[in-house]
A and B are shown apart, each in its own frame.
Chain A
Amino acid sequence: MSLAVEPGELVVLLGPSGCGKTTLLKMVNRLYEPTGGRILLDGQPVGEMSTTALRRGIGYVIQQTGLFPHMRVADNIAVVPKLLGWKREQISQRIDELLELVGLPPDEYRRRYPAQLSGGQQQRVGLARALAANPTTLLMDEPFGALDAITRSRLQQELREIHGRLGQTVLFVTHDIEEAVRLADRIVIMRAGRVVQYDEPLRIVMQPADEFVSELVGAGDVLRRLSLVPVSAAAEPLAGTLPDGPTIAESSNLRSALTLLLEERAERLTVVDAAGQPTGTLDLRAIETAGIVPVPEATDAARW
């Protein structure tokens, strides 16, 4: 496989278990060594760097958090800065900054132990710990996989915000397509150790490369598929008079739009941008069109 990730991109590795997404991730920080080929980080082959120096420069977040249970939150976050020999005041200041960033008031959380935190809070600390030494690259291995749905979507949103603010290059492993679509700048779809498609989320959903991808994005499950398509992708531009139907945000998805249409018994919705300004309309026909899964022409391999 060959894969290029641009600096500052949030790339999601998506695929079923055993497809090699975690293996790929762990080869970047050399927890696994490739049997062949090479991985370049900022143009440098990672195989030629010292493993400890390499890893200290890369943030690493895993599903089970891997927080050190015998250390307080502050000490957990301080691990890499300490390894790098930062000064004490500098570390202390950084801990406060990071706790603020991940939404945990420092005064309340610095001195807690991991076992005194909820799963979501633990993963926030995990993220803060990974960000501690200002890494330019972040590796995240199903970080939200063990969290309940509400906590997960809140953390997804915050990760997007944090990424927007700090601009690290992020590799994020998941097997949840909705999570992938919500987070990714680009998605790598993997299967049996190969890259099946590498594209922007919308393109993956609207133009799946093969039957495997089309199944993954919800062929045969219209509602699931609709939930993956943003309203902005199906909305029609405003024409003439301002419509008076119920409003829906551009960033919302078609499943929510459909729900709203049915609930309100409306004919069409007014699409609004983040500022609440109308930008277009959306009716059942438009939703329908976007909801049909394009089945790619079967290749010889896919036709058995």
Chain B
Amino acid sequence: MVMFDYLIEHRDRVWELTVEHLQLTLLAIGFALPVAIVLALLIARFRPLNLPVLSTLGIIYTIPSLAAFAFLIPVVGIGRQPALIVLAAYAQLFLVRNIATGLRGVDPAVLEAARGMGMAPWQIALRVEFPLALPVIIAGIRIALVTTISLATIAAWINAGGLGALLFNGITRNNQSMIWAGTLAVTTLALLADQLMRLLERLTAVARARRAVG
């Protein structure tokens, strides 16, 4: 069957590209996350920054990814580096929006109690704010992961590697089986990432407390 031919015959190659794809995705999210946390803290604390920051990130997200990769070629060339920049930038929207929403959703009375009990600001952030916002933050990371996995296929166009290589090669060589292999692998990866993050959401303290209430 054409759907699985390439996948079965070249499973080593597909596996290799899958690992590469995953690396690219995780690196991108890894770079994106610290930046997003800072931006989210900023807009959660200073309300006036909310609209400008989220609008800017929204506009970035609407730029066709192919164009974004193309624009970066004269600046940083081709390969992994420009791909990571673009992927990290695209992930910002979901990450920043969800982290900020999560932080803002924390009951002010809880924060006041935390301050009144003598917790230092970093202790409040670490033990109260982030744990309480965590389910929403993880949901943001989940969405960012899934979109980045799908977006990373385009990165193969500037030689960043990953499963997109199968798609682009399949198209130029008119090899249906190759395109199928890439598609199936990307979809599987995205679904697995989605499920894994949903599992993590269920493991948070907030989710545990919610289940206890039933």
Contacts and interface: CB of A to CB of B under 8 A. Distances in A.
B207 to A, nearest CB: 9
Size bracket, chain A contacts? 20 to 34
B212 interface: yes
A71 B213 CA distance: 13
B116 A29 contact: yes
A108 to B, nearest CB: 14
B117 A83 contact: yes
Interface string B95-137: 0000000000001011111111111100100001001100000
Interface in B131-151: 131-132
Q: Name the residue among B109, B111, B113, B114 with the largest chain A CB count within 10 angstroms.
A: B113
Given A31-B112, A68-B128, A115-B212, 5 more contacts: A52-B118, A54-B118, A55-B117, A60-B117, A79-B117
Interface in A50-90: 51-57, 60, 62-71, 79-80, 83
B107 A64 contact: yes
A227 B122 CA distance: 49
A162 B121 CA distance: 32
Given A71-B205, A79-B119, A83-B119, A66 B212 contact: no
B131 A70 contact: yes
A80 B117 contact: yes
Q: Name the residue among B115, B116, B120 with the largest chain A CB count within 10 angstroms.
A: B116
A109 interface: no
Nearest to B121: A52
B113 A66 contact: yes
Contacts of B205: 70-71
A112 B214 CA distance: 12
B109 A62 contact: yes
A115 B109 contact: no
Interface in A23-56: 29, 31, 51-56
Contacts of B115: 31, 55
Contacts, number: 79
Interface in A145-193: none
A251 interface: no
B213 A115 contact: yes
A54 B120 CA distance: 12
A52 B113 CA distance: 13
A116 interface: yes
Interface string A96-125: 000000000000000011111000000000
13 contacts: A29-B116, A51-B118, A52-B120, A56-B117, A66-B116, A67-B110, A68-B110, A68-B113, A68-B128, A68-B132, A69-B132, A71-B209, A113-B209
Contact of A69 (B117, B118, B206): B206
A69 B209 contact: yes
Contacts of A114: 209
Contacts of A68: 110, 113-114, 128, 132
Contacts of B109: 62-66
B110 A55 contact: no
Contacts of A51: 118
A71 B204 CA distance: 11
A114 B112 CA distance: 17
B118 to A, nearest CB: 3
A67 B110 CA distance: 6
Given A115-B209, A116-B212, A69 B116 contact: no
Contact of B110 (A29, A56, A66): A66
Contacts of B213: 113, 115-116
Contact of B113 (A56, A60, A112, A116): A60
Nearest to A116: B213
Contacts of B110: 66-69
A55 B212 contact: no
A66 B118 contact: no
A56 B120 CA distance: 10
Nearest to B212: A113
B206 A66 contact: no
